[in-house]
Amino acid sequence: MKDNNNIALAYMTGILPIKKYGKHSALNMFTEYSMMFPRQLARYTGFTEEEVQNLCKKYGRDYQAVSDWYDGYEVSDIMPPDPDHQELRATGKSPEAVRYSLYSPLSVVEATTTGIIKDYWNKTETYEALAEFIEMDYDGLKEAVAFLMDGGRLAIDTSTYQNDMTTFHGRDDVLSLLIHLGYLGFDDKKSEVFIPNREILDEFRSSTKGVEWKPVFRSFHLSQEILKATLDKDSDKVAELLEEAHNRAGNKTYNDEAALSYAIQLAYYAAQMYYTTILELDSGKGYVDIAYLPAPKYPALPALVVELKYNQSAETAMSQIKRQKYPERLIHYKGNMLLVAIDYDKDLPNTALEFKHHKCIIEADCC
């Protein structure tokens, strides 16, 4: 097409962007408009708040109910031009892209014309279509779905997605597809995905009713309990819950310290809703195994410094935290930090009463 003089303009439509091969598009002469980057068409990718308010007023419908069910998609327009930097000089700020909160068009039309608020998504897609993708065997995918269904927002890498429905290399590729299919909202500023509204949440619920999802949701709720027990400084409860989490994970997760670290991260999966996870944070005198730093929305939460010991004691782990002065690296959280030491004894036989026994020590850093 690029070298064909008979083509002045080509306009193509479709749900997915143009297929990529590796990191590049197969047709790089096109300007793409997608749910991740709609450019100047942002306001036209769904009904805007103003349009929905006008429709509800016209038909006498409950705007709040319509909003709860069908709102939630977030898109950004282009950044407006600022000739000669006039706005920057006048205000000290460059113009920002307009952000729109969008509604699912078909659902709004159905709800406003019939007066019945319900899930209209299955008129365009079936729950089996969603189930096909979220049941794929990619590490962390099902846990991510449980996290999103609980209201969480998850940072993902969309750059590896190949813009098709068959080429997936991991969890984030599947979640990227779900953005384009409308099952997930996307915050382009933070590269975060989320379930946008009640209608889509119903689709996820329908797709996760099978018995194979029960262990996933139990593990996620267990993770929430572990986080709560940690914040309550209930070290015995944390150790008890870690036992259950690891019983569910299986013996294969207990073969070295790296595997233990991964298992603990899974156990604290729910913390992603409130914290940023940093692995092997450089403290200047060593590395913190796992640090959980509170997200800006939750400044009152304490930072968590987690030190793991494989076949060594929790007391040794706590001593290392204090000896290496890890908290000094997190000076902004002084006085609002919990030091968490967790151990695991690899040498206990699997017939022993304390097989997989963890010990946990939690102390507040108040100096």
Mean pLDDT of the chain: 83
Identify the residue whose tokens are 């929305």: 297
Q: For residue 143, with 0-12 CB atoms within 10 Å meaning exposed, 13-18 middle and 19 or more buried, which class applies? A: buried
Mean pLDDT, rounded, for 113-141: 82
pLDDT at site 4? 75
What span, in angstroms and rounded, lies between the C-alpha atoms of 100 and 257? 46
Q: Which two tokens stand for residue 64?
A: 């709040």
Q: What is the mean pLDDT of residues 11-18?
A: 70
3-class SS string, 188-241: CCCCEEECCCHHHHHHHHHHCCCHHHHHHHHHHHHHHHHHHHHHCCCHHHHHHH
Token readout for 141 is 């995918």
CA-atom Rg of the chain in angstroms: 25
Q: What is the mean pLDDT of residues 34-56?
A: 89
Q: Which of 280, 258, 292 is nearest to 362 (CA)?
A: 292
- Residues 227-286 have pLDDT tens digits of 999 999 999 999 989 888 877 665 555 556 677 777 788 889 999 899 988 887 655 445
- Spatial contact of 158 and 172, defined as CB atoms under 8 Å apart: yes
The helix/strand/coil state of 71 is coil
pLDDT at 54 over 90: yes
Classified by CATH at the fold level, domain 238-365 comes out as: Trna Endonuclease; Chain: A, domain 1 (3.40.1350)
Which pLDDT band, with edges at 50, 70 and 90, does 27 fall under? low
* pLDDT at position 348 over 90: no
Q: Looking at residue 89, what is its pLDDT?
A: 74
Residue with tokens 């730093």: 293
The torsion of the CA quartet 318, 320, 324, 330, rounded to 10 degrees, works out to: -30
Q: Going along the chain, which residue ranges are E strands?
A: 20-21, 24-25, 47-48, 73-76, 99-103, 154-155, 185-187, 192-194, 275-282, 287-294, 303-310, 337-344, 358-365
Per-residue pLDDT averaged across 39-67, rounded?
Answer: 93
At residue 121, the pLDDT reads 83
Backbone angles phi, psi at 229, to 5 degrees: -65, -35
Using pLDDT thresholds of 50, 70 and 90, give the confidence band for residue 103: very high
**pLDDT 10s digits, 205-235:** 989 988 889 989 998 999 999 999 999 999 9
pLDDT band at 329 (very low <50, low <70, confident <90, very high): low
* Res 172 pLDDT > 80: yes
d(CA 149, CA 2): 44
Predicted pLDDT of residue 303 = 93
pLDDT at 192 over 60: yes
Tell me what pLDDT residue 150 has.
Answer: 92
pLDDT level of residue 21 (50, 70, 90 thresholds) = low
- Domain range summary for the chain, segments of one domain joined by +: 238-365
Alpha carbon distance 27, 30 (integer Å): 6
